[in-house]
């Protein structure tokens, strides 16, 4: 059966070929493994380390925010959020589907968050949903064995205890944007909530503390096997604000149906006792994820509730400006306080008639009385004599044209016009007639209510320009150690005691003497001074012609007050957009705030919170405006 000579030659040569093939293939395999293990070894080693070590953030509890008396404004409450560990997911789309269906999440939002999360390595969890209810948490936990890719994270949610109150002071938290993460040098990570406005943003570092980190070894099912290291978090500091909650609350109530802002400062220190910008918004919206409708309504609101009017809106100061002009001119010896100017009700400059707000005129007025009755003609003459550049010098002395340095972001500097400004910025020459307007606070000069409050502080303290601030003290929640605010005085004006007395006296007369423009807003028992201001939005004839929306053509109302006359403790600036006259729209607000601050009972007037018919009947209500004088 064995054949004698079979032909093996071909077969043998094929076997030789096979030997070469086998040797060659094994050599290629060895090379491939060399490439993976040696050439790319370090890369894969790193990946394997990341594979097994999972970093779990220990979020530092954010500090509380309290008012100056320790009443809590912002605290934290527990919140549950859902995170997706992509690497654990068998199919990410199936996981997303599961979460969307179980929790009823909007698919587009979840998809958007997934897309954003994909920019980071796959061991970084993607936050999918926040603020889960306990039922939702239970539903997810129940399915955890099938879905090891989901993790429920308990975190602290910011709770603004009083809703929209003090919203512009406090700001809000929102998820750090990729841009913010990059700018922080990756201190923040995906899903971190950071302060976006207000003091939440200004004192982010202080409030936020420092997150800790646990590094744990996990298996492929994300089960924790051992803890490798642990760095505890450093809790955020509790922050005491200079705000007086009672005063703040009353101010907000007074602004409930007004548009505008109010600032109450301690002129000696710059401490902000109250800051209102109306309309407001509820910062809790952002913590609970603002819905698109809420966003749209916030953004499309013509009154821009997100804007902090006290520092971000600039307006002409109106007659309030006369106070600064008077003090500045006195301090520099540019005016004789006793020199009298005759006011016939109007004056003609450069061939054009400028009217005083009082048609009949004020007769002979000196500086003090010009402040008291807010005589336009007196200040037209003063302004014309000084010229716009000296007016600008005075305005800058009071800190106009630059941010006040308040500890809130996005503050506007305002505008102090000068001949140089006209030439270089406006590119149109300065007309002398504009100087006449500027000397009564109209025209291109623009200020923020905060700047006015600071400048008034400088006037009433005799020249010290404080830095307004909200920071009162911080407290380490572990040790209880408090840190107080140490502000620096930015600069001082020339102090002129005689001039100070004259201006203060004029401002006292505004409130306390019959004929003063805010005589109706005096508070018995409080020695207060003030100055009204009314800013024309449109010419009077235009108001008559417009008829479209007369409300938006109404004048803006200013009132700046301080008390007491000797050694003032509080400066209040009230600005009511389209409120009408300063004396009727703004001064009564200041009246109530002053009364509150000094603990004096005053009867609420019609239209004010706390007003009731009973009290109106029993009390002889003072007239809303003093007789005949509206400015």
Partner 1 sequence: MISRVLPVPRRLDLVILSCALALAILGILFVSSTTEGGRFDGLATRQAIWVLVGLGGLVAAVLFDYRVLLKFSFFIYCVSLAPLVYLLFFGERIANVKSWIRVGGFQFQPAELAKIATALLLAYLFENEDDARMKGGTFLKVGVIVAVPFLLVFLQPDAGLAATFLPLAAMALFFGGLPGRAWIAILVAVALLAGVGWFVLADYQKQRIGTFLNPESDVLGSGYQVRQSKIAVGSGGFTGKGFRAGTQSQLRFLPVQHTDFILAVIAEEWGFLGVCLVLALFATLLLRALTLARVARDRGGVFLILAIASMLFFSVVVNASMMIGLLPTTGIPLPLVSYGGSSVATSFLGIGLILAVEYRRFANA
Residue 587: closest CA among 540, 517, 492, 500: 517
Q: Which stretch binds partner 1 (CB under 8 A): 33-41, 519-527, 557-565, 621-629?
A: 33-41
Residue among 319, 418, 437, 474 flagged as catalytic: 319
Instruction: Provide, rounded to whole angstroms, the least separation between the CB of residue 199 and partner 1.
Output: 45
With a CB cutoff of 8 Å and minimum separation 6, the contacts of 95 are 84, 89, 147, 149, 150
Nearer to partner 1, 48 or 612 (CB): 48
Q: Which stretch binds partner 1 (CB under 8 A): 87-95, 133-141, 270-278, 344-352?
A: 87-95
Q: Is 544 in the site for partner 1 (CB under 8 A)?
A: no
Window 363-382: residues binding partner 1 (CB under 8 A):
none
Contact by Cβ (8 Å): 112, 102: no
Backbone φ/ψ region at 406: left (φ over 0), alpha (ψ -120 to 50), beta: beta
Using the Cα atoms of residue 139, residue 141, residue 146 and residue 150 in order, give the sign of their dihedral.
Answer: positive
Q: Which stretch binds partner 1 (CB under 8 A): 34-42, 156-164, 406-414, 470-478?
A: 34-42
With a CB cutoff of 8 Å and minimum separation 6, the contacts of 458 are 267, 398, 399, 464, 465, 466, 493
- Tell me the C-alpha distance between 617 and 27, whole Å: 107
Nearer to partner 1, 99 or 174 (CB): 99
Instruction: Provide, rounded to whole angstroms, the least separation between the CB of residue 231 and partner 1.
Output: 22
Instruction: Provide, rounded to whole angstroms, the least separation between the CB of residue 15 and partner 1.
Output: 5
With CB under 8 A as the rule, give the number of residues binding partner 1.
Answer: 42
Q: Determine the 3-state secondary structure of 576 from DSSP.
A: strand
Query: Based on C-alpha coordinates, what's the Rg of the chain?
Result: 35
* Strand bridging mode 224-231 / 212-218: antiparallel
Q: Which stretch binds partner 1 (CB under 8 A): 42-50, 177-185, 238-246, 407-415?
A: 42-50
Q: Which stretch binds partner 1 (CB under 8 A): 20-28, 111-119, 150-158, 404-412?
A: 20-28
Instruction: Provide, rounded to whole angstroms, the least separation between the CB of residue 37 and partner 1.
Output: 4
Contact by Cβ (8 Å): 338, 360: no
* Structure token pair of residue 227: 């803890």
Nearer to partner 1, 86 or 592 (CB): 86
- Scored b (16 or more CB within 10 A) or e, 179-215 reads eebeeeeeebebbbbbbbbbbbbbbbebbbbebbebe
Contact by Cβ (8 Å): 475, 237: yes
Note if 319 is an active site residue: yes
Instruction: Provide, rounded to whole angstroms, the least separation between the CB of residue 97 and partner 1.
Output: 14
Instruction: Provide, rounded to whole angstroms, the least separation between the CB of residue 112 and partner 1.
Output: 21
Q: Is 225 in the site for partner 1 (CB under 8 A)?
A: yes
Nearer to partner 1, 145 or 514 (CB): 145
Largest interatomic CA distance in the chain: 148
Q: Give the count of alpha carbons within 13 A of 175, CB side only.
A: 17
For partner 1, what does the binding mask look like between residues 192 and 221, x meaning CB under 8 A?
Answer: -------------------------xxxxx
Q: Which stretch binds partner 1 (CB under 8 A): 7-15, 151-159, 481-489, 602-610?
A: 7-15
Q: Is 55 in the site for partner 1 (CB under 8 A)?
A: no
Contact by Cβ (8 Å): 140, 154: no
Q: Is 41 in the site for partner 1 (CB under 8 A)?
A: yes
Contact by Cβ (8 Å): 475, 206: no
Q: Is 90 in the site for partner 1 (CB under 8 A)?
A: yes
Q: Is 37 in the site for partner 1 (CB under 8 A)?
A: yes
- Tell me the C-alpha distance between 593 and 530, whole Å: 13
Among 58, 92, 105, 114, binds partner 1 (CB under 8 A): 92
Q: How many CB atoms lie within 10 A of CB 488?
A: 7
Q: Is 36 in the site for partner 1 (CB under 8 A)?
A: yes
Instruction: Provide, rounded to whole angstroms, the least separation between the CB of residue 86 and partner 1.
Output: 10
Q: Is 229 in the site for partner 1 (CB under 8 A)?
A: no
Instruction: Provide, rounded to whole angstroms, the least separation between the CB of residue 2 and partner 1.
Output: 6
Q: Is 299 in the site for partner 1 (CB under 8 A)?
A: no
Q: Is 23 in the site for partner 1 (CB under 8 A)?
A: yes
How far lies 388's CA from each of 173, 454, 597, in Å?
Answer: 44, 22, 38
- Tell me the C-alpha distance between 87 and 222, whole Å: 10
Nearer to partner 1, 36 or 481 (CB): 36
Q: How many CB atoms lie within 10 A of CB 261?
A: 28
* Structure token pair of residue 494: 């020339």
Q: Which residues bind partner 1 (CB under 8 A)?
A: 2, 6-7, 10-12, 14-15, 18-19, 22-23, 25-26, 29-30, 32-34, 36-38, 40-45, 47-49, 51-52, 90-92, 217-221, 225
Which residues are tagged catalytic? 319
């Amino acid at each position: 059966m064995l054949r004698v000579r079979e032909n093996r030659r071909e077969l043998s040569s094929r076997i030789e070929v096979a030997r070469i093939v086998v040797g060659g293939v094994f050599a290629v395999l060895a090379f491939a493994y060399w490439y993976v293990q040696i050439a790319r070894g370090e890369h894969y080693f790193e990946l394997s380390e990341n594979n097994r070590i999972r970093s779990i953030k220990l979020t530092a509890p954010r500090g509380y925010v309290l008012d100056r008396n320790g009443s809590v404004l912002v605290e934290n409450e527990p919140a549950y959020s859902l995170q997706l560990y992509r690497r654990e997911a068998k199919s990410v789309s199936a996981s997303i589907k599961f979460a969307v269906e179980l929790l009823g999440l909007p698919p587009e939002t979840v998809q958007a968050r997934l897309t954003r999360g994909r920019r980071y390595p796959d061991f970084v969890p993607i936050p999918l949903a926040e603020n889960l209810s306990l039922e939702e948490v239970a539903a997810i936990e129940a399915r955890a064995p099938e879905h090891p890719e989901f993790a429920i994270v308990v975190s602290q949610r910011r709770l603004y205890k009083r809703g929209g109150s003090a919203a512009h002071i406090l700001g809000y938290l929102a998820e750090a944007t990729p841009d913010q993460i990059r700018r922080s040098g990756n201190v923040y990570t995906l899903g971190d909530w950071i302060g976006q406005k207000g003091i939440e943003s200004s004192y982010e570092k202080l409030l936020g503390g420092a997150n800790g980190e646990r590094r744990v070894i996990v298996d492929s099912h994300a089960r924790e096997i051992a803890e490798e290291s642990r760095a505890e978090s450093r809790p955020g500091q509790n922050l005491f604000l200079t705000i007086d909650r009672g005063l703040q609350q009353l101010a907000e109530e007074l602004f409930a149906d007004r548009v505008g802002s109010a600032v109450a400062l301690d002129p000696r220190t710059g401490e902000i006792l109250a800051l209102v910008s109306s309309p407001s918004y509820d910062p809790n919206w952002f913590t609970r994820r603002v819905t698109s409708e809420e966003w749209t309504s916030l953004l499309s609101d013509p009154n821009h509730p997100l804007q902090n009017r006290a520092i971000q809106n600039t307006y002409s100061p109106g007659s309030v400006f006369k106070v600064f002009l008077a003090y500045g001119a006195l301090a520099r010896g540019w005016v004789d306080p006793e020199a009298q100017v005759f006011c016939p009700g109007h004056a003609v400059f450069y061939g054009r008639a400028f009217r005083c707000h009082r048609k009949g005129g004020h007769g002979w007025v000196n500086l003090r009385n010009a402040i008291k009755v807010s005589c336009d003609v007196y200040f037209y003459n003063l302004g014309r004599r000084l010229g716009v550049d000296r007016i600008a010098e005075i305005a800058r002395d009071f800190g106009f044209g630059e941010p006040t340095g308040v500890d809130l972001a996005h503050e506007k500097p305002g505008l102090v016009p000068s001949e140089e400004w006209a030439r270089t910025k406006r590119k149109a020459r300065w007309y002398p007639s504009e100087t006449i307007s500027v000397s009564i606070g109209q025209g291109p000069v623009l200020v923020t209510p905060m700047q006015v409050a600071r400048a008034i502080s400088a006037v009433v303290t005799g020249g010290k320009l404080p830095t307004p601030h909200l920071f009162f003290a911080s407290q380490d929640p572990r040790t209880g150690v408090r840190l107080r605010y140490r502000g620096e005085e930015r600069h001082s004006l020339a102090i002129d005691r005689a001039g100070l007395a004259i201006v203060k006296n004029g401002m006292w007369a505004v409130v306390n003497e019959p004929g003063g423009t805010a005589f109706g807003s005096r508070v018995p028992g409080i020695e207060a001074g003030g100055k009204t201001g009314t800013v024309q939005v449109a010419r009077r004839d235009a108001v008559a012609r417009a008829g479209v929306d007369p409300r938006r053509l109404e004048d803006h109302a200013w009132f700046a007050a301080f008390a007491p006359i000797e050694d003032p403790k509080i400066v209040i600036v009230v600005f009511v957009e389209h409120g009408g006259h300063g004396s009727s729209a703004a001064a009564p607000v200041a009246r109530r705030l002053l009364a509150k601050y000094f603990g004096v009972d005053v009867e609420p007037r019609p239209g004010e919170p706390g007003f009731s018919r009973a009290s109106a009947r029993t009390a002889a209500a003072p007239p809303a405006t003093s007789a005949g004088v509206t400015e």
